[in-house]
Amino acid sequence: MTADAAPAAAPASSRSAIFGWCLYDWAMSAFNTVIGTFVFSVYFAKGIVGDADHGAALWGVVAGSAGIAIALLSPVLGAVADHGGRRKAWLATCVAVSVVPTALLWFMAPEPSSIVPAMLLVGIATIAFELSYVFYNALLIDVAPPGMLGRVSGWGWGLGYFGGLFCLVIALFGLIGFGGAAPLLPLPDVAQAGPRATGPLVALWWVVFALPLLLLVRERPGGAPIGTAIRRGLADLGRTLKSLPAQGNMVRFLVGSAIYREGFNVLFAFGGIYAAGALGLNFGQIVLFAIGLNVTSGIGAFLFAWVDDGIGSKPTILIAIVGLVAIGVPLILVTDPVWFIGLALVLGLFLGPAQAASRTLMGRLAPAGGEAEAYGLYGLTGRATGFVGPWLFAAATAVFASQRAGMAVVIALFAIGGLIVATVREPARG
């Protein structure tokens, strides 16, 4: 990794900046939890498409296609922002591009004519959602005080899970209703108003809770004009990609983490669909299950934040991966919904730590002054194969006519990625 000049000093850390940065995880998690995993994805499969397995396969096409676009755009935008600065402006643009199509999901009626428009809206929102991570993660280095990288990263992931939880609570009691009770909020008298209204809910949630980051976080000063930033960024990216074969330690982490992160992507994209199609859970049960899963995931992320700074990011990742595989195997074999929910809640304890510690380890592996570029590569490798997991899920589900076969892909991705990261040498922490 190269740089044209010495990096500008990071702004002084503050509690308000840390809070604002962490709260963005709270803001954006609602999209993954409510739209991508537990509510709208299920409504798309069972309400719009009308067949759980076929709907799951189409959802996989959306996620996979979005992954290709993300893989192409993230390194370019990351390289430009690395030299041009203004990461908050790029992040704000991504938020705007995401929330508009998310809000428009309200118009997706439960009929076949909505299949293609819904796929397009979700695809556009997903692309901008993932691209915002490039700029958000790069700001971690500016926000976290020395020696607290793991804790700040873990706190962000923990808040993200609890943000998804609270948004789901609003969706359950306010929009969908539970146990036969009517929703608390008045909705227009249209078919499936509750699931459709989650689109505008998530869009509003995202905008409101993204504001603290934009107002409180100070990024490094300076930055070239956009034209110069594009030229320098692309040239620097080209040099970095050419030099990667000589950076075996970094490459092993990027490849291994990309593989198990793909497992996370599949799990989040199809978890709700699987619970509905394979276990027969209804909307209310799925949301309650999601609430419990978010609670245990948030607890795990918070608790392991201190473990990350204490024993290191790599051991934290490996502990989490072992837990995910050990719980994941029986999870896809059980047929009793009670056992399924119980095992899934235990699984949640290991979800957040693996994600947060991966983000931390990337920061620790990055050379001084090259952190933003490193996170750009992290985003690139995380999405360069972003179409593989969803398409493998879709293919396995279609070939075996079973979503259990599709979910087995997740366990394999966890195990393979963890084995590769086990060979990474973590730098000594100061």
Question: Model confidence at 430, in pLDDT bands (50, 70, 90)?
Answer: low
**CA distances (Å), 390 to each of 86, 394, 402, in order?**
33, 6, 15
Three-class SS state of 412:
helix
Whether 308 is in a domain gets the answer yes
* Structure confidence at residue 170 (pLDDT): 92
Q: Is residue 238 part of a domain?
A: no
How far is 14 from 324, CA to CA, in rounded Å? 34
Q: Which residue has the tokens 């490193």?
A: 374
Q: What is the pTM for the complete model shown?
A: 0.79
Q: Please give the residue that has the higher pLDDT: either 74 or 358.
A: 358
363 versus 373: which is more confidently predicted? 363
**Domain count along the chain:** 1
Write out pLDDT tens, residues 70-112. Answer: 877 877 787 777 766 678 988 999 999 999 999 999 999 999 9
User: Which residue type is seen at 35?
Assistant: I
Judge whether 336 lies within some domain: yes
Beta carbons within 8 Å of 183's beta carbon, 6+ residues apart: 173, 174, 175, 176, 177, 194
* pLDDT tens track for 115-134: 999 999 999 999 999 889 88
Share of the chain above pLDDT 70, in %: 88
1 within some domain? no
pLDDT at residue number 4: 44
Average pLDDT, the chain: 85
Position 324 in a domain: yes
Nearest residue to 347 (alpha-carbon basis) of 359, 362, 332, 369: 332
Number of alpha carbons in the 13 Å side-chain half-sphere of residue 272: 30
6: in domain:
no
Least confident among 6-15, 83-92, 171-180: 6-15
CATH number, domain containing residue 30: 1.20.1250.20
Per-residue b or e along 80-100, where b marks 16 or more CB atoms closer than 10 Å to that residue's CB? bbbbbbbbbebbbbbbebbbe
* 228 falls within a domain: no
Domain that holds residue 259: 15-216+243-421
Distance of CA 247 to the CA centre of its chain: 26
Please report whether residue 358 resides in a domain: yes
Asked if 224 and 218 count as a contact pair (C-beta separation under 8 A), the reply is: no
